[in-house]
Chains A and B, each alone.
Chain A
Amino acid sequence: MSVFIIASVVLGIIALIAIARIILGPTLADRVVALDATNTMAVAILILLSAEFRQAMFVDIAIVYAMLSFIGTIYFAKYLEANQND
């Protein structure tokens, strides 16, 4: 057991705590904030796993995931802006 795989499992548990806010969140903005934090944690997990398995491809997937989550965040922000009354 390397230290990187232990760290990625711990980070997965931390991401579950953040996902609880997506489920609980009272308003839509709370859910979007929690989703943004969860995406950042997923990118960090992929970086740790690339160091564990010594595969550069995992980091490429992390970069593409970060791009797609950024586009999703911007889209959610535009959606929030367009819908004034909850």
Chain B
Amino acid sequence: MIELLIYVFISIGLLFHAMGALALHRFFDPYTRLHGSTLCTTFGSIFLALAAIIYALQAGLFPIALHVFLAIVFLMVTNATGAHAIARGAYLHGIKPKRLAVDELAKVRK
């Protein structure tokens, strides 16, 4: 039963990581690529870490479970912050999003 849960979580995590890598190639400008890759890789990492935590708790390795939990909390915070910083830097670099209808940041920064 626990083995099956580990397999299911690893499958979900690998599927989301593959979707994130595919998003880098299927989307068309940096902002959409950032959206797809950051969301999918963060969500996939959460599931892979859940699989590792379940395995470590079942095998009685409590330090590994605690450290993996800390690592995944840190990853969830820094991935969101880094994606925000990249998007802001890319906008100020001069890259306009394609198919852009309303540019509210241009009015603010004038």
A interface residues, Cβ below 8 angstroms from B: 3-4, 7, 10-11, 14-15, 17-18, 20-21, 27-30, 32-34, 36-37, 40-41, 43-44, 47-48, 50-51, 54-56, 59-60, 62-63, 66-67, 70, 73-74, 76-81, 83-86
Contacts and interface: CB of A to CB of B under 8 A. Distances in A.
Interface string B81-95: 111011011101111
Contacts of A37: 20-21, 24, 37-38, 41
A47 B74 contact: no
A29 B51 CA distance: 33
B86 A76 contact: yes
Nearest to A46: B71
28 contacts: A4-B52, A10-B14, A11-B17, A21-B24, A27-B30, A29-B89, A33-B30, A33-B38, A34-B33, A36-B82, A36-B83, A37-B24, A37-B37, A40-B41, A40-B45, A40-B75, A47-B49, A47-B52, A51-B56, A54-B59, A54-B61, A77-B85, A77-B88, A78-B89, A81-B93, A84-B92, A84-B94, A86-B94
Majority secondary structure of chain A interface residues (helix, strand, loop or mixed): helix
Contacts of A33: 24, 30, 33-34, 37-38, 86
A33 B37 CA distance: 8
